[in-house]
Amino acid sequence: MKALTFKRYGKSPDIGISDVPRPTLKPNELLVQVHAAAVNPVDNVIPTGIFKPVLRFQLPATLGSDLAGVVTEVGSRVTRFRPGDAVFASIFDLGTGSIAEFAVVPESAAAMKPANLDFVQAASIPMVGLTSWQALNERANLRAGQKVFIPAGSGGIGTFAIQLAKHLGAKVGTTTSTGNVELVSSLGADEVVDYKKQEFEKVLHGYDAVLGTVRDDALGKAIDILKPRGTVVSLVGPLDAAFARARRLNFFLTFVFGLMSRKIMRLAKKRDCTYSFLFVRPDGDQLAQIGELLKEERIRPVIDKVFPFEQAKEALEYLAQGRSRGKVVVKMR
């Protein structure tokens, strides 16, 4: 079968469409014929080798985490799905990829595709949906009436997280460029800062939580808008020692990640706030709950551009420019 692969780590990962063996099933897995697969920023980071100590791949490795497609075969222990079912899933951090003609998906990671979404729309959801769900529900414990800052509101994460936060009853602040103010406002953002005209830390205040979606010094500045006992959940780093311990990494990596996060931890402690790094996990039960919100149209997919499978590499290059409004999806069929 054909898949989008990278063959080595580093500056020349040799990304392209390759012929790879069709995956074989374990007893608890589904074989899914992929109809669409979304790309995420991490897909451009993985081939650099930054996550090599954390994410395990056998090279050449297939890229991609999000998928929507049709089950063609089920393992002997699978009970909730059968051939012909339309499903969607994230297979991030499972050592395999989704931008391929077929993908293996653990039963525990899959959910039935919402009937009101096509495959492209469904494929755009899993990574951003689960990330937002785990960050806002589990880590930040966001409650009705609280305020959450979600920077880069017009991006893939932002467009979903704003809608989820509003569903949870929170007030949302975000940043975006002039041309995207109308988009993020239509998704429910209450306070919108045009970063080309204003500095968010001078405009926003009294927030309970920050969803860290941008690197550089913006995360440090975001702490200044938090109330005491506020929460920062970062999706982009720095990695912290708690993350290393949760993954049972060795002492050296735990020490290094502790050093990497020392500055942000210190800034958070000064304001009596907490910081943590989130690595999203596949979860079919959570994805099914997200699917219900999509069925009820409480949340809608936001898709910027769709590329044919033959242009999957170009989809990654387009995403790397950092200008997409919502998700970028590769259509396989």
Q: What are 173's two structure tokens? A: 């602040």
292 conformational bin, left if phi > 0, alpha if psi -120 to 50, beta if neither? alpha
Q: Which pLDDT value is given to residue 304? A: 97
* Global model pTM greater than 0.75: yes
Which residues, in sequence order, are bridge partners of residue 122?
Answer: none
> What pLDDT sits at residue 216?
60
pLDDT along the chain (333 residues), means of 10: 95 93 94 98 91 86 97 97 98 95 98 98 98 96 96 94 98 95 96 92 93 79 92 87 85 85 86 91 97 97 97 96 93 90
Residue ranges in the chain assigned as alpha helix (H) = 41-45, 119-123, 126-133, 156-167, 181-187, 200-203, 218-223, 241-246, 251-260, 262-270, 284-295, 312-320
pLDDT score of 278: 93
* Nearest one of 123, 63, 116 to 87, comparing CA atoms: 123
Q: Which residue has the tokens 């790397």?
A: 320
Token reading at 30 = 């589904």
pLDDT of residue 265: 85
Structural domains of the chain ordered from first start: 2-125+301-331 (3.90.180.10), 128-277 (3.40.50.720)
pLDDT at 4 (0 to 100): 97
Task: Pick the closest to residue 292 from 116, 168, 120 (CA basis).
Answer: 116
Taking residue 295's Cβ as centre, other Cβ atoms within 10 Å add up to 13
Query: Is residue 181 helix, strand or coil?
Result: helix
CA 125-26-248 angle, 5° bins: 70
